[in-house]
Amino acid sequence: MRLDNKTVVITGAASGIGQATAERCAEEGARVIVTDIDTEGGQAVAEAIEEDGGEAEFHELDVTDSDRFRAVVDEVADAHGLDVMVNNAGTGHPGGSLEEIDEEMRDFVIDINIKGVWNGCDAALPHMKEQGSGAIVNVGSLASILGLPKQAAYSTSKAAVLNMTRTVAAEAGPYGVRANAVCPGFTETQMLEGYLEQQEDPEVAREEMAADYPLKRLGKPDEIADAILFLASDESSFVSGHGLVVDGGFSTC
């Protein structure tokens, strides 16, 4: 098993990519710490993992709360150690040009997508540096490398996640800590469903979106989880500071 006896903390793990990652890590032998602001959903994911024979526990967490983030990570590290930190929690916003996105929405996206990842790295790094090992995996986006139209705040935030990852890799590497990012294309998650529901015809919008991909389909949470698992495991022991694009070939077009 690729994560046998390792402790993995995952944010935004109540659904979508976070849930799929929690399940895959548990299958590979990890002790999974499920965190999310969605208490009911997060508890359900942890319970399902345990029912399947895995080891998991849930902690309620708003990633924008740095004090709470640090308290959760400290508690987990003291009890189990800390091997992998997956900063997955994120949010999007309704489509609109830069001047149409109001300050409140801009700050909401930045607080979760940038500060949330910052808080996760900040909480995990002291423990990982002290033990001389650890892997941080931040979830970026296709928007980390492309400026998506009508998505100024989201694109800005996800670009920041990728460069933050590179900085953490440079700073923490001498301590034996790796940091990488996964940059997914559009993936079948609740966030995507919310975006599609804003369109005049959601099903047509989905078909048009899929047609833009060389593989002619959208991504699945399990496929992104597999990429995260690779970067979390020792299989990527010499990979650090990298943004792994998992987008069905979209960025090649």
In sequence order, which ranges of the chain are alpha helices (DSSP H)? 16-27, 39-51, 66-80, 103-110, 116-131, 152-172, 190-197, 202-211, 221-232
Cα 93–chain centre separation: 17
Backbone angles phi, psi at 136, to 5 degrees: -110, 130
In sequence order, which ranges of 132-233 are alpha helices (DSSP H)? 152-172, 190-197, 202-211, 221-232
Distance, in Å, from the CA atom of 34 to the CA atom of 17, rounded to the nearest integer, reads 12
Q: Which residues are catalytic?
A: 154
* Number of Cβ atoms within 10 Å of the Cβ of 70: 16
Distance, in Å, from the CA atom of 205 to the CA atom of 198, rounded to the nearest integer, reads 10
82 near 9, Cβ under 8 Å? yes
178 near 235, Cβ under 8 Å? no
247 near 184, Cβ under 8 Å? yes
Cα 46–chain centre separation: 17
